[in-house]
Amino acid sequence: MRRAAEILVALTESDLRARYGRGPWQLLKWLVDPFALVGIYLLLVTFILRRPGEDPGLSLACAVVPFQLVMMTVINAMGAVQLRGAIVRNMAFDRVLIPVSSAFTEAVAFAASLVLFAVMIAAYRVQPTASIVWLPLAIAVTLVFAVACAYVASLIGLWFRDLRPFVISFVRAMFFLAPGLVAIGDIGGSAESLVKLNPLTGLFEAYRSAFLEGHPARAWQFGYPLAWAAVFFAAALPLYVREEKQFAKVVE
Amino acid sequence: MSAAVVAEGLGVHFFFDRQHRVVTPALARLRRRSSDLWGIHGVDLAIGPGEGVALIGSNGVGKSTLLRAIAGVLPADAGRIEARGRVAALLSVDAGLMPTLTGRENCMLLGVLAGLSRRRAQRALGEIQEQTALGEEFDHPVSSYSQGMRARLGFAVADQVGPDILLLDEVHEAIDHDSRTPVEERAREIRRNGGIVVAAGHDHLLLRRLCDRAILLRDGAIEADGEFGRVSGSYTS
């Protein structure tokens, strides 16, 4: 266990440097995306779509911040084995941990982007309630879901390299097929039940429960994403374990 | 534990898609594949403590594939391969180094992946910087290094783990003559201590200094195995 933790730290540390460079600019790179996305969507929701909703900036942040972790993990994981091609071709090591390190790398950026919540809470003068205690669980579920996605993405990145742009578009589409721009309460009708099936819905709404709605998170908000994560693990992990032995053949 | 390498009926199978890119066997089953080949096949081999073995032959006969199978980088798709002892390998011209990382960062990463604790890998950094004579370049990205510098650093990193089995694939041929001496001395030391050195390449003079036994490969199979001079002679004649 300790050995696995050391390998994971080494992989994550090197991945952070390879992808995000070194020094104070790292922080800026991590913050630009979530801040820019919330800014653009805020303009869209408030001035163009004129959708109703409570504290729209904070509501958007509740969707954008966890989504960024999932999105960036998928992008990272699709190229993670190739990025380490030189090592994979040269030495045997525990390659099962590569997708986990992709999620952990992006989790560092995710942690930095939590600043956005503080900014939005201050901007809308939201009084935190006891529901904030659900935030650590929401973060943990987001991370588990991201790790599960990383195994699927790693396999796709190796098997179907040409499909990488489509996978990115697909994940981005999932944001709009979830209550990303508006809270689920503002959707209503039969669409609400369908949207709940999207694993991102539970994640987004769990953050809204913690920050905005002042009531405890609902079981489905954690249950659906975890159920999807379990499906991804069950489908992708055994395949990944079998395929990792062949990685040195296929990395360029 | 005494070092040993044993292979019985060893084969490594490659599958290619229609664009002739290598794909995994699982993907080859899913897709309509265009071709396949055995990189090595039917390889029976036993290397004991203290031996130095050179793998010789033309390009594409399976020398690198056999070295990678010994290193555990490639799986045995047929037969079996067992390497007893700590393995250190230099199997590609990039020497296993990530070009975007500095020499120091690569040392930490590769040291931990090779089995060292983070603390021990950290402690070895100063020694490696001195041993490789990289100076300030040690904190520059490896992408700015010459091939020789990479090979020197790769060797120093591989050597951190105190290997019982040292695998070298042409990389040592990229090292300048001054830096070859420490590599050769280290290889001899490993053999003196009951370890194994397996080296592939085309520089037979250099290989002869490292190894007294040679294996000639042709079309992925062993054609000759024996005393270096005899096998090398049969290949070059």
Contacts of A84 in chain B (CB under 8 A): 98
Would an 8 Å CB–CB cutoff place A18 in contact with chain B?
yes
The H or E element spanning position B78 is: strand B78-84
CA distance B230 to chain A (A): 30
Q: If we measure between CA atoms, which residue out of B30, B46, B36 comes closest to residue B12?
A: B36
Contact at CB, B118 and A6, closer than 8 angstroms:
yes
Q: What is the pLDDT along chain B (237 residues), one digit of tens a residue?
A: 689 999 999 999 999 988 888 888 888 887 776 789 999 999 999 999 999 999 999 999 999 999 999 999 999 999 999 999 999 988 876 778 999 999 999 999 999 998 899 999 999 999 999 888 888 999 999 999 988 888 889 888 888 888 999 999 886 677 777 777 888 889 999 999 999 999 999 999 889 999 999 999 999 999 999 999 999 998 887
Burial of A134 (0-12, 13-18, 19+ CB in 10 A): buried
The H or E element spanning position B64 is: helix B63-71
Contacts of B67 in chain A (CB under 8 A): none
Give the separation between CA A58 and CA A54, rounded to whole angstroms.
Answer: 8
ipTM beyond 0.95? no
Cβ atoms B10, B45 nearer than 8 A:
yes
Strands (E), B94-180: 165-169
Interface of A with B in 171-230 (CB under 8 A): none
Give me the residue from B26, B74, B100 closest to A243, CB to CB. B26
The H or E element spanning position A36 is: helix A25-43
CA distance B118 to chain A (A): 7
